[in-house]
Structure 1
Amino acid sequence: MSAAESPVVLDVQGLHVDIRTASGVVHPVRDVSFQVRRGETLCIVGESGCGKSMTSLAIMGLLPRATHRRARAMSFLGEDLTKLGEQRMNALRGDRLAMVFQEPMTALNPAYTIGEQLMEHYRHHRGASGAQARERAIELLQKVGIAAAGDRLQQYPHQLSGGLRQRVMIAMALMCAPELLVADEPSTALDVTIQAQILRLLADLQKELGIAMVLITHDLGVVARIADRVAVMYAGQVVEEGTAAEIFARPRHPYTRGLLDCIPVPGRTAPGSRLGSIPGVVPSLAGELRGCAFRERCPHARAECSQPIPLRDEGAGRRWRCIVDLEAVAA
């Protein structure tokens, strides 16, 4: 069964996140919709501050207290996440719904050993004995490529390198064999070699275990390596969505085109040549945004861009928010 024919694991429709501040309401996530199927990897990509991490935290129910989440629908395997009580949500988190956080040194508790942290939530969710939890922890550490796994259980986070800590975080997320894995910038703090290893590990584990994965990143190189589908976010809104092949071959939104122009392409970008750039800055997310949020930075902006921009749908999950036909402009 292909990913396109697989059951929908996560269905997000019309997700909004609002933060009340002394100077007004900030809207870091605005009307975001997407689906993730079993065995599929969806990459959510965009500049820092575009709402990617807030979207992931909204899915997990881990938003700050001053934040309000609302959605037309947000279901995980048929359960409406917006209507679940804290007890049911706690039962899902770490069990069928897991997350790899952006910075493993702050996500891992420095006061407890790796083994204690791996075993604790497995015993909590599975009712396992200490021996069973230890066996499972060793199994997962070996699966993520950590040698001498039994000895590592006695170590504290500060005794491990950044790459090893990230592997521990992945092992922890997989302890209870989740249906959905949300990974928020899992390779950002790592050097290029270790980053490639972590991405290859995630791709291999996802294929082996058949889990659905939402990968948050700002790196289109990461997207090219691992994504099945891509959602491009700007100013809290998904501005383009499609398969990875479609996004890279035929970007339909000027922002996506701008991101791709910033990347050197082997064999096409001449050494020493100037890369593309996107002028300006992301607009403030306080208050309501009217029209296209990208229009102040867009080389194709028109007067109509100040009006509400309808979602253009080509079918088969190919959607974008722009009134300009980029292919006609390029021709």
Structure 2
Amino acid sequence: MTTLAPASPSTDALGTAAARTRGAALEERILENPGRFRVLTGDRPTGRLHLGHYFGTLHNRVRLQDLGVELFVIIADYQVLTDRDVADRLTEHVEELVLDHLAVGVDPERSTVFTHSAVPALNQLLLPFLSLVSVAELNRNPTVKDEIAHSRQSAVSGLMFTYPVHQAADILFCKADLVPVGQDQLPHLEITRTVARRFNDRYGSGGSVFPEPEALLSEAPLLLGTDGTKMSKSRGNALTLAADADETARLIKGAKTDSERHIAYDPAGRPEVSSLLLLAGLCQGRTPEEVAADIGSAGSAALKRTVTESVNEYLAPIRSRRAEYARDRSYLRRILREGNERARAVADATLAEVRAAMNSHY
């Protein structure tokens, strides 16, 4: 594993500037020797993935896999137990998530796709890791605060409160040294780095049991949903990878724009129009300004027509692969069984090392 030296303290609250500086150096090292790195990434199975996920994270996972980076993809089914509606349909949601990953190009022969609940040794790491983090530190975590604020629940469960430490176990069980994240996930990763550092200091006997993983900060732009707010599974405003061409056309036709006829890329002044231009540009491999220049004064109807054609053309091969994989659900379960077996072997070895370091290997 390759671990970079810790950066100097960042001047911004989330450490974004420092993460971007380290990220540029990381990209160079990945290209030089991708096989030296291990990545942990994944999703909670709360619904089908959409274009925001694709351009935000999924295509980068496939890029890293294809470069030769060792990729672990976790389906964090334990982390949705706080949502009763999702938990009641958990098997369906897990399989849909596997389908989305296969469709975009994640190769289970080269990458390990597994579920939280199937790897007991991973979850057992939560207990010693919790002993290394204070309640005050969890209280200060801004991502936990946001999760609690948007949970729509009358009480906060212990599972939700300890989510950052559980995520540390996700990352450290396989000794991942790279974690692709968005800016809002940096505080979670900092908790992971803190846990790794404190465990090494307390139990490492002068050595390092765990690497301090680095953030590979996403440069993906924010895509708005059809209602002009952030594209989200829970808001019903997303263009999912599984949607067919007609549904996509219907959703884009109803997307929020503005009253100006001339189409221009202006993210600050015209966010909804600009997001549609950006989406078309991403699908066409062009800049949003170039797409806007082609449309000119043809108005919102022409913009939506362009976006619909671009999205449907781009997603056609992904949707075709998804439909093919969906015909054989037994194949999805076999992928999970094999991925779970590989993840369990890695987690068992890590837990044995942790027990030895803690003098609890009886």
TM-score normalised by length of structure 2: 0.29
Q: Name the structure with the higher helix share.
A: 2
TM-score by length of 1: 0.31
Richer in strand (by share) = 1
